[in-house]
Structure 1
Amino acid sequence: MLIKNIEQRIKINKIISISTIAFAVFIVIAGFFFAYRMIEDSRRSIYILDNGVPVLAKQTDVLLNRPVEYKAQIELFHRLFFTLAPDDTYIKDNIQKSLYLIDDSGKKEYTNLKEKGFYNQIIASSSMVSIHTDSIALNMEQKKFSFFGKQMITRKSSVITRKLITEGFFEDIIRSPNNPHGVILKNWRIINNEELSNQNKNSY
């Protein structure tokens, strides 16, 4: 009887020991798992400056929002590049801001328009130039965009409306104060800038 009791106790002790070891191993594995999850979660956390204030954001949220930022960058570039007033300083400031968002293809187009006397004509005729965005198409695989809009040139006596279709490519870069979206436009070119209408202001 005594021997049986001893054997039962030994079995119970073995079961308790094995259970304790298994539980300890489980705790260790669970600890490693949660630590790994925390590290991965911290890696996905980035800070975005909002008016100089760092705001915590998840990398997955930023990646999901990237197409919106691409379109915003494309629209911002076109608005800066094509919004002009009969003021040489205003034109240069807008062009300078736009060139932070694009590679040398933007500078080449600016030089081309300048050599043709486009900016001198704007100043001489006291014209205002603005654009309206119709749509922006993105090809995420090729990282290519197409911009569709209209360009309005408002003169003293008339309003000229021109079609504006451009295309190019986009690439991710480091965010900066001059390029808050962290996107650079590349190999940009104007595809179509034909005149759609030339209306006399008296006809309005």
Structure 2
Amino acid sequence: MVIKNLENKVKLVTIICGFFLLGCILISVSSLWTARSMVVDAQQKVYVLDGNVPILVQRTTMEETLDVEAKSHVEMFHHYFFTLAPDDKYIKYTMEKAMYLVDETGLAQYNTLKEKGFYNNIMGTSAVFSIFCDSIQFDKGKMEFTYYGRQRIERRTSILTRELVTAGQLKQVPRTDNNPHGLLVVNWRTLLNKDIEQKTKNNY
């Protein structure tokens, strides 16, 4: 009788220990899962300090912001490539900036213009070139863009406005300080570049 009671107590203790061990395992697994979820969620959040006040901003993936970043990249490239002043150091600076954003097709256009004396002519005539973006069409699926803009060329005696349309594709590359969007303009070409208005400046 005593042995039977002892066996029952051992079984009872074994069952209790088994349930206790199972409970510990479930609690540990759920704790690890919860902690992992909290870490992943925290990694998606970034706090920016506004003075001494932390402001929560949500992180986004490249795919979510591709349209905006692509258009910004295309506009930035055209700004550097087509904004010119009668200063050889400034031209060199803007061209170096532009070349980080485009493949060899941009360098080829730059070299062609340089060989034709285009940049020397800018300095000789004291011309100032400005670019204004009208719109950018971007096909996310094909990674193709079309840029529509106007170029303003101001010389000593006149102001010329030209219509500019270019096209190309974008390729994703690692982000760097010189290429913050992580995109590269490829197969870039000019579709249209024609005069639309010329005004004579009033000299007093």
Classify the TM-score, shorter chain: 0.7 to 0.9
5+ long unaligned stretches in structure 2: 1-8, 47-55
Q: Distance in 2 between matches of 1:58 and 1:101?
A: 27
- Deviation of the 1:61 alpha carbon: 4.9
Larger mean CA deviation between 180-189 and 13-22 belongs to 13-22
User: C-alpha offsets along residues 4-53 of structure 1, whole Å, 9 cap, x if unaligned?
Assistant: xxxxx99x98996676455334323313422443564577679xxxxxxx
Larger mean CA deviation between 20-29 and 81-90 belongs to 20-29
User: C-alpha offsets along residues 55-112 of structure 1, whole Å, 9 cap, x if unaligned?
Assistant: x976535542332222221111111110111122211111111101111111001011
The within-5 A match list for 1:4-23 is: 20=20, 23=23
- Deviation of the 1:158 alpha carbon: 0.8
Equivalent position of 2:129 in the other structure: 129
Q: Distance in 2 between matches of 1:45 and 1:109?
A: 43
Equivalent position of 2:31 in the other structure: 31
5+ long unaligned stretches in structure 1: 1-8, 47-55
Q: Write the letter of the residue equivalent to 2:178.
A: N
Q: Distance in 2 between matches of 1:60 and 1:98?
A: 26
Equivalent position of 1:169 in the other structure: 169
Equivalent position of 2:158 in the other structure: 158
Larger mean CA deviation between 82-91 and 62-71 belongs to 62-71
User: C-alpha offsets along residues 90-141 of structure 1, whole Å, 9 cap, x if unaligned?
Assistant: 1111111110111111100101112222212211111100100111111111
The within-5 A match list for 1:80-159 is: 80-159=80-159
Secondary structure at 2:163 match in 1: strand
Q: Distance in 2 between matches of 1:38 and 1:185?
A: 38
Q: Distance in 1 between matches of 2:126 and 2:35?
A: 65
Secondary structure at 1:141 match in 2: coil
Q: Distance in 2 between matches of 1:199 and 1:73?
A: 32
How many residues end up aligned between the 2 structures? Answer: 189
Q: Write the letter of the residue equivalent to 1:29.
A: V
Structure in which a larger fraction of residues adopt helix: 1
Secondary structure at 2:64 match in 1: helix
